[in-house]
Amino acid sequence: MDDDKCVYDWSSLSCTPEASCSLQYQLGDVTPSQACRLSDTSNATKVPQQLHLAFAGREAGTVVGGLKANTKYFYKVGNAKDKHYRGGLSSFTTARAAGDESPFTVAVYGDMGADDNSVATNKYVNSLVDEVDFVYHLGDISYADNAFLTAKNVFGFYYEQVYNKFMNSMTNVMRQMAYMVLVGNHEAECHSPTCLLSKSKKDQLGNYSAFNSCFRMPSPESGGVLNMWYSYEYGTVHFTTLSIETDYANAPSNAYFTKRVYGGFGDQLVWLEEDLKAADANRDNVPWIIVGMHRPMYTIRSCGPDGVPNNDYEARNVQEAFEELFIKYKVDLVLQGHVHTYERLYPTANNSAIMDGVSRDNKTYENPKHPCTLLQELQEAQKDSNPTNLTLVMIESATGIIHDEFSVIKSSATQDSTQ
C-alpha cells in the first residue's frame, strides 16, 4: 500500500482507511486529500498534529514578533533538534498593516461544527486558501457539546474528540492564514451525561475553557480578555469582536444542565466603549468599523409584528446592551450568527430602517448613517474591502451559487466631512 491509497473522506472529515492513513501536510499540499498519507511513512505522525489541552487545564500558544506586514513566511513546527519529530514545511502571509489601502477578502460564516451538516461548508472553506486573506468564524465553532446526541455516543466522552476532529479538518486553512473566532453559546460547557457525572470534567470544561484554550486571539494587544472580546486592525478595517454570551446585563446563562454561573471575565461594555471611541477617532487612517458577535439584535426570528426585537433569541437584551454604543461611534457593519439563517438588513437604528442612501435595487448603501447588519450561517460570505467600498457576497457553499451581493460605500465628500 502507498500514499495514493489514502483518501480524504469529507463525510467523516478524516483520511481513510483510518487504520493506516492520516493527515500529514507538506509544502505544496492545497487540499486535505493531497495531505492524506500512510501513517507509518513518517515518525512525525506518531506525534499528535494538534493537541486540545482544555481538559488538562493548560493553554498553549506562541507569539512571533518582528515580522513584516503582508509578507510570506515559511515555518516548521516540532523538535528543532530531531527531524523525526518535526512537521512538514508550511507558510503563511502576515496581516496588512493598519491603513494599507489595498483590497482584501475575508471568508465569514458561523455555526459550523464537524458533523454531516458542516461537510459542504468545510469543503468549500478548505478550497479558499489561495482566494481569501483570512477567515472570521462567528461563533459555535465545533459543536463539541452536542457530541453525545446520538444513541452511539450518549454515554461516552467525545467532547475533546469532536473538537480535535474540527481542528484537524481545518488544518489546511489554519496553517496558512489567520482563523479568527468569536464565542458562541455552544462554546460554554460540556453537558453530556459523562460530564454531568464527573465533577472534574464538568469543572474543567465549563465557562468556555476549551474555546479559550484552542485559540489565541489578540486580546493582550487590544486590552481584551482571552478569546471573549478583542479587536484588531487589518488594512482599512477595525474589527471589534464581542462576547454576546457573557458580561453584560441579562446575558444568557448557557448552563444547560450544570446550573453553573458563567462569565465574570471583566467589564466588557467599558472596554467596548473605549475601543470604539479610539477606532472612531482613527477614521483618517482606518475608515471602517466592523463588529462581530454571535447572537443578533435584529432578526426576523426574534421580533414582533412591528419589527421591535423580543427575547425569543435574546435579541432585546442584546439591543439594550450594545446598540447605543454602535450608533454613538458610527459602526459601519455588524456581522452576526446563531439563528441558522441568512438575513441582510437595511441600515437600522432604534427599531427602524434608515433608508437614506439605499439604492432602488437595494444593492448599494451609500453613506449610511447607522449600522448595517448581516446574519451569516452555514453558508459563506466573502467580504472585500477598500477605503471607500465594502462589498459583501453571500455564496451557498454546497453549490457555489451567489444568492446575494451588496456594497456599502463611503463617498469622499462624506469622509471629508467626518475627518
Q: Which of helix, strand or coil describes residue 171? A: helix
What's the confidence (pLDDT) of residue 60? 54
pLDDT, tens digit (0-9, with 9 covering 90-100), for 332-361: 999 999 999 899 999 999 999 999 999 999
Q: How confident is the model at residue 155 (pLDDT cuts 50, 70, 90)?
A: confident
Which span out of 32-36, 86-90, 133-137, 196-200 was modeled with the highest average pLDDT? 133-137
Contact 374, 336 (CB under 8 A): yes
Provide the whole-model pTM.
0.88
The DSSP-derived string for 288-338 is: EEEEE-SS-SS-GGGB-TTS-B-TTTTHHHHHHHHHHHHHHTT--EEEE-S
CA atoms of 382 and 120, how far apart (whole Å)? 16
Angle, in degrees to the nearest 10, between helices 315-328 and 268-281: 30
pLDDT above 90 covers a percentage of the chain that reads: 60
CA atoms of 165 and 411, how far apart (whole Å)? 45
For the chain, give the mean pLDDT.
87
C-alpha cell at 134: 483570512
Chain centroid to CA 266 = 21
C-alpha cell at 36: 492524506
pLDDT, tens digit (0-9, with 9 covering 90-100), for 96-113: 999 999 999 999 999 999
What is the CATH code for 102-409? 3.60.21.10
* Least reliable range by pLDDT among 26-30, 127-131, 135-139, 334-338: 26-30
CA atoms of 35 and 129, how far apart (whole Å)? 14
| Average pLDDT of the segment spanning 263-287 | 97
pLDDT, tens digit (0-9, with 9 covering 90-100), for 354-404: 999 999 999 999 999 888 887 765 455 556 678 899 999 999 988 889 999
CA atoms of 114 and 236, how far apart (whole Å)? 33
Tell me the H-state helices in 218-331. Answer: 219-222, 268-281, 315-328
What's the confidence (pLDDT) of residue 1? 59
In terms of Cβ atoms closer than 10 Å to its own Cβ (0-12, 13-18, 19+), residue 336 is: buried
| Average pLDDT of the segment spanning 3-29 | 84
Phi, psi (degrees; rounded to nearest 5) at 61: -170, 155
How do the domains of the chain map onto residue ranges?
Answer: 1-46, 102-409
What's the confidence (pLDDT) of residue 266? 97
Reply yes or no on whether the pLDDT at 84 is more than 50. yes
Q: Which residues of 251-262 are buried (b: 16+ CB within 10 A; e: fewer)?
A: bbebeeebebeb
Q: How many Cβ atoms sit within 10 Å of the Cβ of residue 175? A: 20
